[in-house]
Amino acid sequence: MTILSIIEIAIDACNKVIPRPTPAQHALEQARIIAHRGAHDKRLNIIENTMEAFDHARKLGCYGIELDIHATKDGILVVHHDPTLKRLWHKPQAIAELNYQTLHDLVPQIPKLRDVIDRFGKDMHLFVELKCPIQNQQHLADLLSQLTPCKDYNATTF
Protein backbone atom coordinates (compact mmCIF):
# COMPACT_ATOMS: atom_id res chain seq x y z
CA MET A 1 0.00 0.00 0.00
CA THR A 2 1.41 3.38 -1.00
CA ILE A 3 1.34 6.57 1.04
CA LEU A 4 -1.06 8.04 -1.51
CA SER A 5 -3.56 5.21 -1.05
CA ILE A 6 -3.32 5.58 2.74
CA ILE A 7 -4.07 9.31 2.41
CA GLU A 8 -7.03 8.56 0.12
CA ILE A 9 -8.45 6.08 2.64
CA ALA A 10 -8.03 8.61 5.47
CA ILE A 11 -9.78 11.35 3.49
CA ASP A 12 -12.65 9.00 2.60
CA ALA A 13 -13.01 8.04 6.28
CA CYS A 14 -13.13 11.70 7.34
CA ASN A 15 -15.77 12.48 4.71
CA LYS A 16 -17.94 9.64 6.01
CA VAL A 17 -17.71 10.86 9.61
CA ILE A 18 -18.02 14.59 8.92
CA PRO A 19 -20.80 15.00 6.36
CA ARG A 20 -21.09 18.13 4.30
CA PRO A 21 -24.06 20.37 4.95
CA THR A 22 -26.97 20.15 2.53
CA PRO A 23 -26.60 22.82 -0.16
CA ALA A 24 -29.06 25.69 -0.29
CA GLN A 25 -32.13 25.09 -2.45
CA HIS A 26 -31.11 27.72 -5.04
CA ALA A 27 -27.72 25.99 -5.41
CA LEU A 28 -29.41 22.63 -5.94
CA GLU A 29 -31.66 24.14 -8.60
CA GLN A 30 -28.63 25.48 -10.48
CA ALA A 31 -26.67 22.21 -10.37
CA ARG A 32 -25.95 20.56 -13.71
CA ILE A 33 -25.13 16.95 -14.37
CA ILE A 34 -22.06 16.13 -16.43
CA ALA A 35 -21.55 12.58 -17.65
CA HIS A 36 -17.91 11.65 -17.06
CA ARG A 37 -16.78 9.81 -20.21
CA GLY A 38 -20.44 9.76 -21.19
CA ALA A 39 -23.17 7.77 -19.46
CA HIS A 40 -21.38 4.44 -19.66
CA ASP A 41 -22.97 1.46 -17.97
CA LYS A 42 -21.62 -2.09 -17.77
CA ARG A 43 -25.12 -3.47 -17.17
CA LEU A 44 -26.28 -2.00 -20.48
CA ASN A 45 -22.98 -2.80 -22.21
CA ILE A 46 -22.37 0.90 -22.92
CA ILE A 47 -18.64 1.57 -22.99
CA GLU A 48 -17.14 4.89 -21.89
CA ASN A 49 -16.15 7.58 -24.40
CA THR A 50 -18.22 6.07 -27.22
CA MET A 51 -21.01 7.67 -29.22
CA GLU A 52 -23.39 5.29 -27.47
CA ALA A 53 -22.28 6.59 -24.05
CA PHE A 54 -22.72 10.18 -25.20
CA ASP A 55 -26.13 9.43 -26.74
CA HIS A 56 -27.16 7.81 -23.47
CA ALA A 57 -26.05 10.91 -21.52
CA ARG A 58 -28.17 13.10 -23.78
CA LYS A 59 -31.14 10.74 -23.40
CA LEU A 60 -30.77 10.95 -19.60
CA GLY A 61 -30.87 14.76 -19.77
CA CYS A 62 -27.27 15.49 -18.82
CA TYR A 63 -26.08 19.05 -19.30
CA GLY A 64 -22.69 18.02 -20.62
CA ILE A 65 -20.23 15.27 -21.34
CA GLU A 66 -16.59 14.94 -20.35
CA LEU A 67 -14.40 13.29 -22.97
CA ASP A 68 -10.73 12.45 -23.32
CA ILE A 69 -8.61 13.07 -26.42
CA HIS A 70 -5.61 11.27 -27.88
CA ALA A 71 -3.97 11.69 -31.27
CA THR A 72 -3.29 8.85 -33.67
CA LYS A 73 0.04 8.50 -35.47
CA ASP A 74 -1.38 10.39 -38.45
CA GLY A 75 -2.70 13.21 -36.24
CA ILE A 76 -6.39 12.34 -36.08
CA LEU A 77 -7.86 13.33 -32.72
CA VAL A 78 -9.90 10.52 -31.21
CA VAL A 79 -11.94 10.14 -28.04
CA HIS A 80 -10.48 7.60 -25.63
CA HIS A 81 -9.29 7.84 -22.04
CA ASP A 82 -6.26 5.57 -22.02
CA PRO A 83 -3.17 5.75 -24.23
CA THR A 84 -3.64 2.07 -25.12
CA LEU A 85 -6.57 -0.13 -26.08
CA LYS A 86 -5.81 -2.66 -23.35
CA ARG A 87 -8.22 -1.83 -20.50
CA LEU A 88 -11.42 -1.44 -22.51
CA TRP A 89 -10.78 -3.37 -25.69
CA HIS A 90 -8.25 -6.02 -24.55
CA LYS A 91 -5.79 -5.06 -27.28
CA PRO A 92 -2.20 -4.06 -26.48
CA GLN A 93 -1.78 -1.33 -29.10
CA ALA A 94 -1.06 2.31 -28.25
CA ILE A 95 -3.24 4.89 -29.99
CA ALA A 96 -0.23 7.12 -30.78
CA GLU A 97 1.40 4.26 -32.70
CA LEU A 98 -1.60 3.56 -34.96
CA ASN A 99 -2.87 5.35 -38.03
CA TYR A 100 -6.54 6.24 -37.71
CA GLN A 101 -7.69 3.64 -40.24
CA THR A 102 -5.85 0.87 -38.38
CA LEU A 103 -7.35 2.06 -35.08
CA HIS A 104 -10.81 2.17 -36.64
CA ASP A 105 -10.37 -1.34 -38.04
CA LEU A 106 -9.37 -2.62 -34.57
CA VAL A 107 -12.02 -0.72 -32.55
CA PRO A 108 -14.66 1.03 -34.66
CA GLN A 109 -16.43 2.28 -31.51
CA ILE A 110 -13.69 4.85 -30.80
CA PRO A 111 -15.01 8.10 -32.29
CA LYS A 112 -13.14 10.95 -33.88
CA LEU A 113 -13.32 14.21 -31.96
CA ARG A 114 -14.77 15.79 -35.11
CA ASP A 115 -17.73 13.39 -35.04
CA VAL A 116 -18.43 14.04 -31.34
CA ILE A 117 -18.33 17.81 -31.91
CA ASP A 118 -20.62 17.55 -34.94
CA ARG A 119 -23.16 15.41 -33.09
CA PHE A 120 -23.14 16.93 -29.60
CA GLY A 121 -21.32 20.26 -29.76
CA LYS A 122 -24.32 22.58 -29.92
CA ASP A 123 -26.59 20.31 -27.90
CA MET A 124 -24.48 19.51 -24.83
CA HIS A 125 -21.58 21.24 -23.11
CA LEU A 126 -18.30 19.46 -23.93
CA PHE A 127 -15.58 19.10 -21.29
CA VAL A 128 -12.59 18.18 -23.45
CA GLU A 129 -9.55 16.74 -21.69
CA LEU A 130 -6.42 16.56 -23.81
CA LYS A 131 -4.57 13.43 -22.72
CA CYS A 132 -1.48 13.95 -24.89
CA PRO A 133 0.47 16.82 -26.40
CA ILE A 134 -1.32 18.05 -29.52
CA GLN A 135 1.18 18.42 -32.35
CA ASN A 136 -1.22 20.15 -34.73
CA GLN A 137 -2.83 22.74 -32.49
CA GLN A 138 -4.36 24.51 -35.50
CA HIS A 139 -6.29 21.32 -36.32
CA LEU A 140 -7.74 21.28 -32.80
CA ALA A 141 -8.58 24.98 -33.06
CA ASP A 142 -10.32 24.36 -36.39
CA LEU A 143 -12.39 21.53 -34.91
CA LEU A 144 -13.49 23.69 -32.00
CA SER A 145 -14.03 26.82 -34.11
CA GLN A 146 -17.73 26.07 -34.66
CA LEU A 147 -18.22 26.25 -30.88
CA THR A 148 -17.97 29.12 -28.40
CA PRO A 149 -15.41 28.64 -25.61
CA CYS A 150 -16.93 28.41 -22.11
CA LYS A 151 -20.45 28.49 -23.56
CA ASP A 152 -20.20 25.28 -25.62
CA TYR A 153 -16.99 23.71 -24.31
CA ASN A 154 -14.12 23.85 -21.86
CA ALA A 155 -10.75 22.29 -22.56
CA THR A 156 -8.14 21.08 -20.08
CA THR A 157 -4.80 19.35 -20.44
CA PHE A 158 -3.22 16.49 -18.57
Please state which CATH number belongs to domain 32-157. Answer: 3.20.20.190
Q: Mind listing the pLDDT tens digit for each residue in 83-96?
A: 999 999 999 999 99
User: Which residue from 69, 59, 15 is spatially nearest to 37, judged by alpha carbons?
Assistant: 69
How many Å apart are CA 93 and CA 85, to the nearest integer? 6
Q: Mind listing the pLDDT tens digit for each residue in 110-128?
A: 999 999 999 999 999 999 9
What percent of the chain clears pLDDT 70, i.e. is strictly above it? 99
Residue 18: the pLDDT is: 87
Q: Mind listing the pLDDT tens digit for each residue in 35-68?
A: 999 999 999 999 999 999 999 999 999 999 999 9
Residue 130: the pLDDT is: 96
User: What's the rounded mean pLDDT across residues 70-79?
Assistant: 97
How many Å apart are CA 118 and CA 105, to the nearest integer? 22
